[in-house]
Amino acid sequence: MKVTFALPLFAFTFWVCSLFTVSPSLAVAQGTRAPKVKTGKIKENQQYKSIDGKFSITLPPARNPFVATYKFRESKLKNETDDYEEVVFQIADFGQAYGAGVRRIPQSVLAQMAKEEEKQTLSNLAGRAVFQWRNYAEEPQPVDEAQVQTQFGVGLFRIYVAKHSSLLSAITVSGQGGKPKPERSDARIAVLVVKKGDLFIYATAEDEYLMGGSTPLDLRKQLETFFATMMVKIQE
């Protein structure tokens, strides 16, 4: 007898890295200050405000009528090389996770971006955003993208697929007395990025409910709706 059921992926972890600075090992060697991190809870459809008010965004509806609260982890760092605030929301039991953040791009990086076409810059930023909040069993690969118009200007929407990296793990038990075997399906991660002056603004979405018989367009609509609620404090 083979029995399969879903449960949260315990390997699901948060992680924060700098997009534009040195590697973590070099950061430690150079005495770089660690980010300020805070965790908490917030209900669906409520507005979240980042630690120092760099941005705000409104939470999407929860999928289960009996679970209406997201857990969140927010972080911020401001020093000579880093200036960012970001957050990840999740309802792990139902495979919902959303992220958002604002980062100030260093002048040296802006100089390099000035030599690129806008599409290439947004492509690079999307590639960095997809790794911003968790690990994957296999490296995410882009499978679909589109230029989008946002409240901050032209942005790039992209969908990545990461093999065997879904938020929920299916546990299969084969035969009488068989050992449970975790099996993960592929993850589909939606990313939306915009460059506004020297700011990198982004949001991400994963939703196992939309992985079933849905199309990439469903996940795109979900992320664009989420992103449209984002407000950013922009200093001219």
Whole-prediction pTM: 0.80
Could you list the pLDDT tens digit for every one of the 236 residues in the chain?
333 333 333 222 222 333 333 333 334 444 457 899 999 999 999 999 999 999 999 999 987 778 899 999 999 999 988 999 999 999 988 888 999 999 999 999 999 999 999 999 999 999 999 987 788 999 999 999 999 999 999 999 999 999 988 887 665 555 566 677 667 788 899 999 999 999 999 999 998 765 554 555 588 999 999 999 999 997 75
Q: What angle do CA 128, 157, 11 make, to 5 degrees?
A: 50
First and final C-alpha spacing in the chain: 65
CATH class (in words) of the domain with range 2-232: alpha beta
* Residue at token pair 């805070």: 38
User: Which residues neighbour 37 within 8 Å (Cβ) at sequence distance 6 or greater?
Assistant: 16, 73, 74, 75
Amino acid identity at 69 = T
